[in-house]
Structure formats: structure tokens, C-alpha cells
Structure 1
Amino acid sequence: MRFMMMFRASEESEAGAVPSEESLTAMGLVMAEMAEKGVLLAGDGLLPSSTGFRMELEAGERRVIDGPFAETKELIAGFCLIEVASREEAIEWGWRCLVADGGNTGRLEIRPSATAADFGDNLTPEARALEDATFLKAAQNLQKHTG
């Protein structure tokens, strides 16, 4: 099962505060263990919302809204994409990440990734083949850019 772990922003992370050396080291060790065990698929910290933007499409109208965004508790400061055997395993890794994070965020949202079965007959064999080819290429792109 794939899960997206989303670390929620704090006032400090939104202000651009850098996590402590201790926290960065602890999180690095947990992430390295997840990678070694084949659990970690991707992950990164995100810069404050002041560096980002939102895009909206409503009734054909396009809109780009520059950050920062006011609701800190709704913002994401980082993420990990993991593949584990169960919800319980995702929870265990989540607790380990929160402890390693050293209070920089203090909140983590974990949601399962959709599978082909979640889309039923709307995901045709052709659409599935395109999706498979697209994500194979995306994996190759990631490898190329990370060496």
C-alpha cells in the first residue's frame, strides 16, 4: 500500500526557520532506514508558502495566486511517499518521522494513494497502459536528475 505522509507547516517553518542540526540528522537517519528497507519512494521538505503559488480553474477562468498563505495549519512543509504492507506500518513510520522531526511541524497527515481499483471501469486498459508508461518515464526522469 502506498501512503503520502504530509508534514504540516508551523509558524516557524512558514517564517523560513531551518530545522536544527539535530533534527535534520535524526530525520536523515529515519529516511535512510526507510530507503534501506524499501519503504521510501520519494520525499522532500518544502520551502515556505511565500515562495509558492496556487492555481485555480473555475468556470473556465484561470487564476494564479501568489503566496504566502494565511492558514499555516493547512499548509504542507514536506512529504514522504512510502510503500508499506499496512496502515499500521504507515502509522509506525509516521510516529518515527514526527519524533525525528523534533517538533518542527508536530503534525502529520497520512493518506493512502489511489489504486487502479479505486477508479473502476473509468480507468480503461488504454488509460492504464498510458499511466504505466508515464510513471515509468517519471521514474527514469527522477533517476536522471538525482544521479
Structure 2
Amino acid sequence: MRVMVIIKATKESEDGVMPDEDLLAQMGGFDEDLVNAGVLMSGDGLKPSSHGKRVKFSNGEKSVIDGPFENTQSLVSGFWIWKVESMDEAVEWVRRCPDPMPGGQAEIEIRPFYEMEDFGEELTPELRAQEDRLRSEIERQFGS
């Protein structure tokens, strides 16, 4: 199963506080463990929401909202995409993670991805073929 491991933002991450050398080394070691175990598929940190934009959809209208955004607890400061056998395995990996945020307050959320079989009959053979074709093209373009 694939999961997205979401590192929630904090006041410090929204203020642009960067990790120190020690935290970078600890996280690098953790990422190395994930890679060596065949778990890590992708991951990155995100700049504060002051660098972002939101597009709001309402009754066919779209409006752009500039960051920063309110409610720090609902914001994401980084993510990993992991391939694990179970949610329990993902939790065990997160338990091994160094505290990812300066200031000692961090929260990590784990969310499973939908897989093709989750869509049932609505995913017709034609739609499945389209999805397979698109994934192949993305892999060709980006080598991921």
C-alpha cells in the first residue's frame, strides 16, 4: 500500500525557521533508512504558505487567494510518499522519525492513497487503460 506521510506546519515552519545541521543530518539518516528498506518513493519539504496560493472553486467561479494562510495546524510543511505493507508498518516508521520541527512541537499524519481496486465498477476498462497510459507517460517524462 502507498501512504502519504504529512508533516504538519508549525508557527516556526510558517515563519521560515530552517532546520539546523543536526536535524538535517538526523533526517538524512532517517531518509537513508527508508530508501535502504525500499519504503521511500518521494518526499520533500514545502516553503511557508506565504509563498503559496489557493484557488477557491465556488459555483463555477474560481478565485485566487495569496498566502499566508490562517490556521497553521491545517497546513503542510513537508511530505513523504511511502510504499509499506500496512498502516501499522507506516506508524512504526513514523515512530522512528526524528522530531521533524525546530521548537519540539510536531505532528505527522499518515493517509493511504486510493488504489485502482477502490473505485469498483465505475473504473471501466477504458478508464483503467487511460490511467495506466498516463502513469507510464509521467514515468517517461520524469523518470519517477
Question: What TM-score comes out, normalization by structure 2 length?
Answer: 0.92
Deviation at 1:140, TM superposition (A): 2.9
Report SS of the residue matched to 1:30. helix
Partner of 1:15: 15
SS at match of 1:106: coil
Residues 141, 93 of structure 1: alpha-carbon distance in 2 compared, 3 angstrom cutoff? farther
Shift in Å at residue 102 of structure 1?
5.3
Partner residue, 1:109: 109
Compute the RMSD of aligned alpha carbons.
1.6
**CA distance in structure 2 between the partners assigned to 1:115 and 1:66 by the alignment:** 33
1:48–1:77: 8 Å Cα contact kept in structure 2?
Answer: yes
Which amino acid is 1:41 matched to?
M
After superposition, the C-alpha distances for 1:73-129 in whole angstroms (9 at most, x for unaligned) are 1000000000001111100111222x2525565100101110112111111111111
The amino acid across from 1:142 in the alignment is F
The aligned counterpart of 1:35 is 35
Between the two proteins, the alignment pairs up a number of residues equal to: 143
> What is residue 129 of structure 1 aligned with on the other side?
129
Quote how far apart the aligned CAs of 1:17 are. Answer: 0.6
Structure 1 residue runs of 5 or longer lacking an equivalent are none
Find the aligned partners of 2:142 and 2:29 in 1 and give their Cα distance.
22
Residues 1-147 of structure 1 aligned to structure 2 (within 5 Å): 1-97=1-97, 99-101=98-100, 103=102, 106-143=106-143
Counterpart-to-counterpart distance in 2, 1:117 and 1:142: 25
Q: Please tell me the residue identity of whatever aligns with 1:76.
A: V
Which structure shows the bigger proportion of residues in helix conformation? 1
Q: Following the alignment from structure 1 to structure 2, what is the Cα–Cα distance between the partners of residues 92 and 39?
A: 12
Q: Deviations over 1:7-45 (max 9, x none)?
A: 000000000010111111111111122112211111000
Between 75-84 and 101-110, report the one with greater CA deviation.
101-110
Inter-CA distance 124–71: structure 2 relative to 1 (3 Å threshold): same
Are the aligned partners of 2:99 and 2:106 in contact in 1 as well (CA < 8 Å)? no
CA contact (8 A) 2:13 2:101 kept: no
What TM-score does the superposition give when structure 1 sets the normalisation length?
0.90
Gaps of 5+ in 2: none
